[in-house]
Amino acid sequence: MDASWNQDHGRTMTKLVVMGDPGVDDAVAILCAAHFGTLLGIVATHGNAPAEVTARNALALCERAGLEVPVARGCPRSLMGEGTVSGAAFHGSAGLAGVALPEPKQALDPRCGAQFLIETASAHRGELVVVVTGAHTDLALALRLEPRLVSWLRAVAVMGGTAGPGNARPMACLNVLADPEAAAIVATSGLPLFWLGYELTRTVVLGEAELVRLEEGGKVARTMAAALRAYRERYRRVYGIDGAPIHDALAVLALALAERVPPGILRFVPTALEVVCAHGPARGMTIVDLRGIVDAAALPEDRRPRPPNVAYAVAVDREAAVEAVVAAILSYD
């Protein structure tokens, strides 16, 4: 897997579908996707809030931002039918704490999320990039329903899992814990995966200076400033981190059009990533092999790394990422 894929994939606008659970940082990711690429649709997944809530938020956000983008509702529960984990502690019970967007006028796409993705990928074979910023349930279902997706999709960026501290559990991130079996299906699918873990994404936050810039912007920027302030307050209260993280937006920057996103914001290395599905304290963990072994043959068989299945994000230019995201949000009226 060529980890520099996102640096030189040509000059056309990247066609994107976001599969996420807005959610404050998902909302930022959606705005970035529509700014840096061609956003063909949103699949609202369960995770930060129930799928019907994230679907409503996606519709309401698109109307606020003037985005005419289809929104399809994802599965309400994980593949195994467990109750979804919740991000309400950070995003509020309605998923977008800090703002009260009007009830959306636009209806949901009549297709379920998996079918919407299959049909969109089929219509844009070899061109569509998927950005997963919530549970993997709908992508996993789509892969089972239509195995040709592996060749139809150009790439998949995933924000989820962690190679260090987690959030929903000590070493597990909400997006993978919400449906570990689904994340395992995605991780072993053979798709070109660009994977960003929570240990890296949590280090990129919008601070007071950025929030003030947004408050001096248009209606969309002011709306996001209010949501990000509430998000930041919850992060400050819980973690002592004085900033609003932009986890999901980084997954968009990973694969957005290099022409409009300064190249090199993120650095990826091919590595082996495995999702733990066994029930118990490790469920939902992502085992990421970052040992940096360069000559596996020098090791006994049982210590050799598994073949790489993802390009894993190991470094980020924080200043460039923050600037790109703030510029994207300010570009809206």
Residue 9 contacts residue 3 (beta carbons within 8 Å):
no
* CA angle centred on 328, ends 326 and 332, rounded to 5°: 110
Shortest Å, Cβ 168 to ligand RIB:
7
Count of beta carbons in the 10 Å neighbourhood of residue 190 = 10
Tokens of 162: 């962690």
Shortest Å, Cβ 71 to ligand RIB:
17
Radius of gyration from C-alpha coordinates of the chain:
18
As a whole number of angstroms, the distance between CA 258 and CA 21 comes to: 25
For residue 21, state whether it binds ligand RIB (rule: CB under 6 A): yes
Residue 289 contacts residue 306 (beta carbons within 8 Å):
yes
Residue with Cβ nearer ligand RIB (28 or 258): 28
Q: Which of 104, 134, 197, 243 binds Ca ion (CB under 5 A)?
A: 134
For residue 26, state whether it binds Ca ion (rule: CB under 5 A): yes
For residue 234, state whether it binds ligand RIB (rule: CB under 6 A): no
Shortest Å, Cβ 248 to Ca ion:
5
87 contact, one of ligand RIB, Ca ion, none, CB 5-8 Å limit per kind: ligand RIB
**Which residue, judged by CB position, is nearest to ligand RIB in the bound state?**
174
Residue with Cβ nearer ligand RIB (26 or 138): 26
Please report how many Cα atoms fall inside a 13 Å half-sphere around the Cα of residue 190, on the Cβ side. Answer: 8
153, amino acid identity: L
What is the phi/psi pair of residue 81, to 5°? Answer: 80, 10
Residue with Cβ nearer ligand RIB (203 or 218): 203
Q: Which of 6, 17, 25, 235 binds ligand RIB (CB under 6 A)?
A: 25
173 contact, one of ligand RIB, Ca ion, none, CB 5-8 Å limit per kind: ligand RIB
